[in-house]
Amino acid sequence: MNLNPYIKPKRGNTSMVMLDVVIALLPLVVAGYLAYGMHALTLIAVSILTALVTELIFSSLYLKNYRAIFDGSAVVTALLLVFTLSPATPWYMVSFGAAAAIIFGKIVWGGLGKNRFNPALVGREFMTTFFPAVMTSAAIWDTKNIINVEATNLFPGIDSPYVSSYLSGLFYKTTGALGEYSILLIVLGGLYLLVRKRISWHIPLALLAVFFAAFWFVEDGDDLHFSIAGVLLGTIYMATDMPSSPTNPYGKLYYGAMIGLVTFILILGGVSYEYMSFSILILNGFSRKISETFAPRVWGQSLNWKDRTEKVLMLSLSVLVVALAVISLHYYHFTQYLVYLYIAYIIIKFNYSFIKKISNPI
């Protein structure tokens, strides 16, 4: 018996979408290899292999879906996870993070398309929680001794060292996480996904516009430190994750704008390395409420602007309260307790709720 939907796009199935994301990310793999050689390739291989094996075992055991590894989502999750990490991260931690991303970011929610939070970022937060000494150490970002190909001045004809260094950094650099070594390649991958209609422009545009505009409203904004490549990587490849982001255009604009605002607030609040991860995960938690709040007007009915305005204000206030709470927890080094609560919550929900809806399409 065939189940609906009966009309399906020829090239729009899950495997094709994931293949396009992998194609968009492949140039960053090359950049990672140039920067850190086999260190980068080893971590990428460990992450992908662990994600695939974990997907095969746990999807088979709990979801009775033996073909889940063929949809490509585990490879995308593995790549995005490793792209947020230092090339000096020990391989066993990467393996742990990839397994946690698949199990606690996807399987326990009921599988592909049902996750509320970005799986790769869930995996990263699990790594930070269970390996805090390494993951929060500044030493893990000291990677000078393992650089494969040094960054060089690609514009020797420009007199200003600052300008030539800045322009060269757009093409290739060796600082930051594994996915941050070429802003140009990150953007080109995003443009490819836009052309292929795998992502829409709403979230990236709103996110980047609000994030950079926020710097105009604070004194000494130039003194705040963040990675442009890291912000772009999160904006293009993680904030746009379909299952964990809103479903309608106005909801996407609001969602992107709030991620941009929360990211800026987290940086202002002293969150050094995880501002992008925290901001996306915070808004992931509000994604369904945002979709509901910005749901399109029903044909034949008028829009109650007062009611919608009140809902948006309350929603915004809730997001900001959570953001300030995360800053406080981060300041007192208590963010790991959020992960412990998440583990307890998701295991209970899986055993008493999600397991009964495994066969539902969404």
User: What confidence tens digit (pLDDT) does each residue in 206-221 have?
Assistant: 999 999 999 988 887 7
pTM of the entire predicted model: 0.91
| 152, 162, 164 from 159: Cα distances, Å | 15, 9, 8
Q: Is the model's pLDDT at 1 over the cut of 50? A: no
What is the reported pLDDT for 159? Answer: 79
Read off the pLDDT of residues 158-192 as tens digits, 9 standing for 90 and up: 878 888 888 888 999 999 999 999 999 999 999 99
Largest Cα–Cα distance in the chain? 70
With pLDDT > 70 as the criterion, what percentage of the chain qualifies?
Answer: 94
At residue 358 the predicted structure's pLDDT band, cuts being 50, 70 and 90, is low
Handedness of CA 23, 28, 32, 35 (dihedral sign): positive
Q: Which residues fall within 8 angstroms of residue 258, CB to CB, at 6 or more apart? A: 210, 283, 286, 316, 319
Contact between 310 and 264 under an 8 Å Cβ cutoff? The reply is no
Handedness of CA 33, 132, 244, 276 (dihedral sign): negative
Q: Is the model's pLDDT at 146 over the cut of 80? A: yes
Read off the pLDDT of residues 295-346 as tens digits, 9 standing for 90 and up: 988 777 787 888 899 999 999 999 999 999 999 999 998 999 999 999 999 8
Q: Is the model's pLDDT at 3 over the cut of 60? A: no
Read off the pLDDT of residues 45-94 as tens digits, 9 standing for 90 and up: 999 999 999 999 999 988 888 888 888 999 999 999 999 999 999 999 99
Comparing 111 with 170, the larger pLDDT belongs to 170
Q: Is the model's pLDDT at 362 over the cut of 60? A: no
Phi, psi of 150 (to 5 degrees): -65, 150
Q: What DSSP string runs through 12-48?
A: -SHHHHHHHHHHHHHHHHHHHHHHHHHHHHHHHHHHH
Low-confidence winner among 78-87, 265-274, 275-284 (lowest mean pLDDT): 265-274
What is the reported pLDDT for 4? Answer: 52
What is the reported pLDDT for 110? Answer: 85
* Closest listed residue to residue 129, CA positions, set 350, 344, 333: 333
Read off the pLDDT of residues 191-200 as tens digits, 9 standing for 90 and up: 999 999 999 9
Q: What DSSP string runs through 222-262?
A: GG----HHHHHHIIIIITT-STTS-SSHHHHHHHHHHHHHH
**Tokens standing for residue 181:** 């070594």
What is the reported pLDDT for 158? Answer: 82
Alpha helices in 62-113 (DSSP H): 73-83, 91-105
Q: Is the model's pLDDT at 38 over the cut of 50? A: yes
Comparing 277 with 1, the larger pLDDT belongs to 277
Q: Is the model's pLDDT at 249 over the cut of 60? A: yes
Comparing 298 with 146, the larger pLDDT belongs to 146
What is the reported pLDDT for 7? Answer: 52
What is the reported pLDDT for 301? Answer: 78
